[in-house]
């Protein structure tokens, strides 16, 4: 695929020879499950492996009838519903790559994703969370809009399923094909797309399922957006399917929605971001639900404090696992048999023996063991380049192909990583990533804004919240007006600033760059 950076031949040969890469495809992920067992529970729907497999097959045929083919891209923006799972499996079967947008994304993000990926189709719910996605679709120039629900002038997802299945025998994708596109958290003005091949993502999900001890008895509750890498494949929904277990979709991590589902379905595992973990630690004391089925709480996406991790077993009655992951690839997990001390105080160690880790200073020189530096990595499931982004790639990768994560870490003698901060210009708002530059560009478009600098401010629950420092021309906009402005521009709500500070000038570094460190220090 044009715009995709493959692994160099010698690496590909090695990953293949050493068994990290197989010929298994994302579309075959259901094949190990007992046909009679429950694969998916979503709202009132319960689908066995056989039923889910047939629905995915028939929907695949429907997409094929639309003319969607191997190598095409389809932007998928569905919430935690059975339809997400069906559409994902359908697309990967015909070798069309889903571009996984989050339900929170709006016109600004979706328009860009459709354009960049030259999407042949866009799949949406009718409405969700009070937002009408058909309105958004009307502002786009995509060939096919497929709607889960009331389609109005568009095509209904249900109509793709005519009961006929395709004969896929000569349509099978190649394991080296891009299977899915994930969204990067972003550090630049525009979001980036991460191409994940069938073979690297299959390895990602299978190896994760192994490390996390998933079996056919696993009942995995999804509370994060299912389109996010963590909930999808680390081990996530796909890791559960690979082991023949059961996936239960919850609309959110709110205790009043998640806890009754844990009790009813006897959920054994759940992946959360730290703010949800904190909420659950609070809620467990007053909730009446029986959470005793829970065996493992995976926490990742942002730093989880050691003191909180230590509370999980006592309060929630399950083990905790810290996960340092990234849509770009590298995953680190604390292991189920790690000593409590490591589980509580580290963000885990690399998933794969083939993951290569370097910790370097600002001159790309490796630091002494145990010292803090930027985490660079390459391996069998870490990208070699963002999609169609040659200039950005030149900066994001070393000449020998290591991805610059932008995370500051130190490595313990055990190989476990501790996150100590970051060098990338990004805010991590409870696991949601905000590119400072992207938000600054939106703010600069406001007629009253002369200059903008966005920084994170520490927050006890979210880890960080977003503060926009503005230099204004005349009438300064209020926080509410700034949010309204961003809303009208079609910017996802999680990117809106939590606070606006007006200043006359920005502090500068010796080389004349805006000193975000100094700006952030002034907030305390």
Question: Rule CB under 6 A: which residues touch ligand OOB?
Answer: 185, 229-230, 234, 300-303, 322-327, 331, 347, 405, 407, 419, 422, 428, 431, 433
b/e code 473-497 from CB counts within 10 Å (16+ = b): eeeebeeeebbebbeeebbbebbbb
Our CB check for ligand OOB shows the closer of 68 and 183 to be 183
Our CB check for ligand OOB shows the closer of 232 and 449 to be 232
Our CB check for ligand OOB shows the closer of 66 and 372 to be 372
- 3-class SS string, 251-317: CCCCHHHHHHHHHHHCCCEEEECHHHHHHHHHHCCCCCCCCCCCCEEEEECCCCCHHHHHHHHHHHC
Our CB check for ligand OOB shows the closer of 300 and 350 to be 300
- What is the full DSSP assignment across 125-187? ESEETTEEHHHHHHTS--SEEEEES--TTSEEHHHH--S-----TTTPPPTTSEEEEEEP--S
- For 98, 226, 453, the CA distances from 63, given in Å and listed in that order, are 12, 21, 44
Residue carrying the six token digits 């998640």: 258
Strand pairing report for 417-422 and 403-411: antiparallel
Our CB check for ligand OOB shows the closer of 375 and 467 to be 375
DSSP type of residue 38: E
8 A C-beta contact, residue 222 and residue 71: no
Our CB check for ligand OOB shows the closer of 147 and 297 to be 297
CA dihedral 186, 188, 193, 196 (to 10 degrees): -60
Our CB check for ligand OOB shows the closer of 238 and 323 to be 323
Our CB check for ligand OOB shows the closer of 236 and 255 to be 236
CB of 6 to ligand OOB, least distance (A): 21
Sign (positive/negative) of CA torsion 233, 237, 242, 243? positive
CB of 18 to ligand OOB, least distance (A): 23
Q: How far apart are CA 81 and CA 129, in angstroms?
A: 13
Q: Which residue is nearest to ligand OOB (CB)?
A: 325
Q: How far apart are CA 81 and CA 84, in angstroms?
A: 6
Residue 308 token pair: 């909180």
CB of 249 to ligand OOB, least distance (A): 18
CB of 192 to ligand OOB, least distance (A): 10
Our CB check for ligand OOB shows the closer of 38 and 382 to be 382
Our CB check for ligand OOB shows the closer of 121 and 234 to be 234
Residue carrying the six token digits 């697309």: 91
CB of 220 to ligand OOB, least distance (A): 14
Q: How far apart are CA 305 and CA 307, in angstroms?
A: 5
- For 6, 16, 112, 372, 390, the CA distances from 387, given in Å and listed in that order, are 11, 23, 13, 30, 8
Q: How far apart are CA 365 and CA 171, in angstroms?
A: 47
End-to-end CA distance of the chain: 48
CB of 263 to ligand OOB, least distance (A): 26
Residue 483 token pair: 């949010």
Q: How far apart are CA 160 and CA 307, in angstroms?
A: 50
CB of 375 to ligand OOB, least distance (A): 8
CB of 186 to ligand OOB, least distance (A): 9
CB of 26 to ligand OOB, least distance (A): 17
CB of 166 to ligand OOB, least distance (A): 32
CB of 234 to ligand OOB, least distance (A): 4
CB of 424 to ligand OOB, least distance (A): 7
Say whether 205 sits in a helix, a strand or coil: helix
Our CB check for ligand OOB shows the closer of 29 and 320 to be 320
CA dihedral 56, 60, 66, 70 (to 10 degrees): 140
Our CB check for ligand OOB shows the closer of 185 and 195 to be 185
CB of 224 to ligand OOB, least distance (A): 9
Our CB check for ligand OOB shows the closer of 59 and 347 to be 347
8 A C-beta contact, residue 180 and residue 201: yes
């Amino acid at each position: 695929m044009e715009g995709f950076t493959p692994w160099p031949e010698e690496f590909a040969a090695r990953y293949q020879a050493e068994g990290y890469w197989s010929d298994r495809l994302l579309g075959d992920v259901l094949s190990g499950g007992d046909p009679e067992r429950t694969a998916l529970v979503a709202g009132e729907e319960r689908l066995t492996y056989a039923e889910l497999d047939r629905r995915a097959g028939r929907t695949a045929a429907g997409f094929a009838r639309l003319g969607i083919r191997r190598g095409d891209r389809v932007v998928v923006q569905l919430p935690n519903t059975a339809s997400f799972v069906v559409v994902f499996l359908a697309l990967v079967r015909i070798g069309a790559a889903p571009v996984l947008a989050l339900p929170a994304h709006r016109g600004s993000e979706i328009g860009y994703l459709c354009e960049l990926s030259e999407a042949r189709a866009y799949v949406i719910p009718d409405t969700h969370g009070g937002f009408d996605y058909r309105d958004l679709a009307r502002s786009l120039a995509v060939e096919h809009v497929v709607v889960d629900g009331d389609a109005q002038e568009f095509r209904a997802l249900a109509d793709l399923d005519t009961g006929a299945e395709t004969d896929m025998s000569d349509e099978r994708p190649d394991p080296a094909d891009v299977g899915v596109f994930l969204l990067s958290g972003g550090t630049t003005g525009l979001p980036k797309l991460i191409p994940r091949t069938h073979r690297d993502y299959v390895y990602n999900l299978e190896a994760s399922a192994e490390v996390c001890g998933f079996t056919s008895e696993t009942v995995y509750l999804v509370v994060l957006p299912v389109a996010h890498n963590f909930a999808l494949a680390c081990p996530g929904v796909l890791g559960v399917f690979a082991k023949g277990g059961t996936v239960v979709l919850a609309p959110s991590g709110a205790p009043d929605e998640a806890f009754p589902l844990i009790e009813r379905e006897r959920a054994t595992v759940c992946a959360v971001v730290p703010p949800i973990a904190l909420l659950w630690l609070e809620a467990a004391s007053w909730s009446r639900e029986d959470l005793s089925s829970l065996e493992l709480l995976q926490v990742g996406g942002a730093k989880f404090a050691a003191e909180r991790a230590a509370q999980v077993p006592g309060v929630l009655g399950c083990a905790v696992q810290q996960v340092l992951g990234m849509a770009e690839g590298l995953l680190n997990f604390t292991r189920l048999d790690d000593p409590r001390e490591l589980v509580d105080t580290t963000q885990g160690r690399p998933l794969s023996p083939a993951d290569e880790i370097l910790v370097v200073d600002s001159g790309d020189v490796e630091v002494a063991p145990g010292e803090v530096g930027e985490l660079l990595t390459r391996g069998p499931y870490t990208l070699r380049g963002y999609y169609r982004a040659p200039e950005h790639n030149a900066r994001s990768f070393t000449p020998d192909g290591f991805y610059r994560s932008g995370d500051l870490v130190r490595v313990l003698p055990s190989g476990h990583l501790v996150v100590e901060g970051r060098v990338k210009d990004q805010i991590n708002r409870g696991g949601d990533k905000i590119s400072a530059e992207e938000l600054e560009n939106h703010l600069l478009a406001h007629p009253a804004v002369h200059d903008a600098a966005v920084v994170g401010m520490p927050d006890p629950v979210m880890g960080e919240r977003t503060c926009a420092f503005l230099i204004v021309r005349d009438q300064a906009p209020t926080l509410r007006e700034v949010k309204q402005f961003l809303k009208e521009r079609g910017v996802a709500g999680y990117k809106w600033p939590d606070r606006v500070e007006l200043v006359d000038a920005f502090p500068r570094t010796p080389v004349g760059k805006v000193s975000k460190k100094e700006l952030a220090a002034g907030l305390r």
